[in-house]
A and B are shown apart, each in its own frame.
Chain A
């Protein structure tokens, strides 16, 4: 029987040719689906492509009608591009890697409406994870409340403050729990290291050395005794080292706990502001009023930036460690696909250079044509070795020239990651901001906005600055004087006073600053509107508010005092208990060791000759 079917070669070649031909014909569709699915995984919303055209021999890929949904607003496109032409390096394709030498993008438009929702039923785990991270980050930032409802009424609903809602109280509980857990762990280690048996055994050895008679023991017996003593001394040295290591661990732990205890004071300051908001008591300080008025808006502007910074970290991580991602969508399970970057090879994806032309619609000063360049966009920045850079500038517009600058640099080639974004737009129509506490809204009109964001490792520093001199104010519907109760009349007076103060303001500045780490972020907001409101309030109700605020502070103090006391006591007890016990045990070990060594030295001169033992003692050889 023949093993090979030689006659099958022709049909096989024909079959392969058929498969290759089918693949070439199907390649456009394949690329279209790949762009859509990979894009959706990155963006976290639908990415639609009208057509893809691949010309293998020319090494070009032409994508037409690309629409990328805004993940925060599924009925709007983040951007759409009329045409993208990419020159692809053919070599890396044989390693399933995509290296785009140049990319030309034409007809980009931002914020265009969609015919159907671009929300995904099941967004990729990566985008879900990042969105969750950003949400958690935002939820940690407490925007203070601002309300005039507490004015005019003498009722300050102090019991409304729950101890569970106070940050200082929850942090104190966390410290207590951490203290207990550390105490348990350290005590277990102290027990496991219990040096008592070793000390007792060493003491017995000391006694034996005291009564040891070299003549009676002879050379061999003395050597044996010396060896046993040396073993005991070594054992004691090991135990002392272990105790010292534990002592260092405990000392570091106690220092960490103390720094957490010190942070309770900051938490208490935040609780004062929070409690003041809960009882509808307005702050009289501009630094508190501005975040209350514009904090939520600033946070909404900063969240998308943070989302993309996080996404960039996720998809452009530093280093050459293997990285796992969800496998391709197929009928069978997707599994995990693991990439193994190696020095001096191509990255999985690299866009060397891209040139984009885009336009902003509308009639305002920012409307017009723009041009942007991107260089070094890659999934393995360490292999590329240089930062990714984006530059954008205006190339023409309907209205006179205005300032438009944008520069971004993401350096993920090594740790710590260094990102910076600088954007300055002039002549934009700024949004209208509702200010419910003031029963007003302000249309910011044409103005300018600057955004800067820098990040080094975990530390973020950002600034969003808005400036306009064309603000117009509008009073929104609030309760009329007739429908107000008698106790609300004073509030109405304050509102009118504030309205007179702010409604004449044409020049408005809002500045939001973000700082700290992702784990412990902080946002501060400053605005001349906040300062004006603070001044107005101080004139109107300063004394009454200050009095009520003292009550609120006293209430917060009373709620957190017990927790704080307990924390102080437990941390002190931990220090004096466990730490002192370890120090005492180490001292005992050291005393015993010193005594043992002294006895050993006393024993040595009784012997003639020289056998070297630790501590400079010589025994006969």
Chain B
């Protein structure tokens, strides 16, 4: 059911009214929530930006969902990157010391996974935006027309029954 829901979201996003740029920007912002530990102050800021700036919110949700598994998988890399910056780069120590003794400490930047993943997301954000912008545009021109005729697409579309089923689903 979860996979089906994700597929529905994917199709809905790719065919939404938003421009490919808006969808790609939404995905790039949503990727932050997937790549970095969720309960941190920077994610609240990113959520605020996603709501205030005219990006695709469906794309934002999709980016979040898509990048959660990648975030888990890359944790060891983020940890190493964070440690390299926090511990093994003496030149940055004055910066960390100044942040640690100010309100910036609320962001938990001094945790290796948080810092490493935020840096990782900042590095990946632009490539994610570019790749998804091209992909969404090409999808709409070339793939969608052919895809909507396939049995698979019809099956997923037909699974609106799933939403009806959810109305009767007991609360958990």
**Interface code B8-35, partner A: CB below 8 Å = 1, 0 otherwise?**
0000000000010000000000000000
A565 to B114, CA, bound (A): 60
Interchain CB contact under 8 A, B82 and A332: no
B101 within 8 A of A: yes
Instruction: Flag if A335 contacts B111 (CB, 8 Å).
Output: yes
User: What distance in Å separates the Cβ of A331 from its nearest Cβ neighbour in chain B?
Assistant: 8
Interface contact A338-B54, CB-CB below 8 Å? no
Interface residues of A in 308-323 (CB under 8 A from B): 322
In the complex the two chains form, is B110's CB within 8 Å of A332's CB? no
User: Cβ of B108: which chain A residues have Cβ within 8 Å of it?
Assistant: 96, 337
Grouping DSSP codes into helix (H, G, I), strand (E, B) and loop, the A interface class, with mixed when no group exceeds half, is loop
Mark B26-67 against chain A: 1 for CB-CB distance below 8 A, else 0: 000000000001110000100110011110000000000000
Chain B CB within 8 A of A115 CB: no
Q: Are B87 and A322 in contact (CB under 8 A)?
A: yes
- Shortest Cβ distance from B140 into chain A, in angstroms? 17
B51 in contact with A5 (CB, 8 Å): yes
* Contact A4-B53, Cβ < 8 Å, known A335-B113, A340-B96: yes
* Chain A residues positioned under 8 Å from B53 (CB to CB): 3-5
Can you name the residue of chain B whose Cβ is closest to the Cβ of A9? B52
Q: C-beta contact mask, A323-355 vs B, less than 8 Å → 1, else 0?
A: 010011010111111111110011000000000
Q: Is the CB of A332 within 8 A of B103?
A: no
> Restricting to B85-136, which residues have a CB under 8 Å from any CB of A?
86-87, 93, 96-103, 105-106, 108, 110-114, 116
Could you tell me if A338 and B113 are in contact, using CB atoms closer than 8 angstroms? no
Which label, helix, strand, loop or mixed, suits the secondary structure of the B interface? helix
With A322-B87, A333-B79, A336-B86 as given contacts, are A12 and B48 in contact (CB-CB < 8 Å)?
yes
User: In the complex, how many angstroms separate the beta carbon of A94 from the nearest chain B beta carbon?
Assistant: 5
**Which residues of B have CB within 8 Å of A482?**
none
Instruction: Return chain A residues, CB-CB under 8 Å to B75.
Output: 332-333, 335
Taking residues whose C-beta sits less than 8 angstroms from the other chain, chain B's interface range is 35 or more
Q: Do residues B51 and A338 form an inter-chain contact, with CB atoms below 8 A? A: no
- Bitwise, A455-488 to B at CB < 8 A (1) or not (0) is 0000000000000000000000000000000000
A321 to chain B, nearest CB (A): 10
Instruction: Provide the A1-38 mask, 1 if CB < 8 A to any CB of B, else 0.
Output: 11111001101100110010000000000000000000
Judging by beta carbons under 8 Å apart, are B71 and A332 in contact? yes
| CB closest residue in chain B, given A328 | B111
Q: Once the chains are docked, how many angstroms separate the CA of A2 from the CA of B55?
A: 10
**Which of A5, A330, A336, A340 contacts B100, CB < 8 Å?**
A340
B90 to chain A, nearest CB (A): 10
Complex-state Cα separation, A19 to B51, whole angstroms: 15
Taking the nearest CB of chain B, how far is it from the CB of A349, in angstroms?
A: 13
Residues of chain B contacted by A340 (CB below 8 angstroms): 93, 96-97, 99-101, 110
A8 touches B86 (CB 8 A): no
* Contact (Cβ within 8 A) B113 A95: no
Chain B interface (Cβ within 8 Å of chain A)? 19, 37-39, 44, 47-48, 51-54, 71-72, 75-76, 78-79, 82-83, 86-87, 93, 96-103, 105-106, 108, 110-114, 116
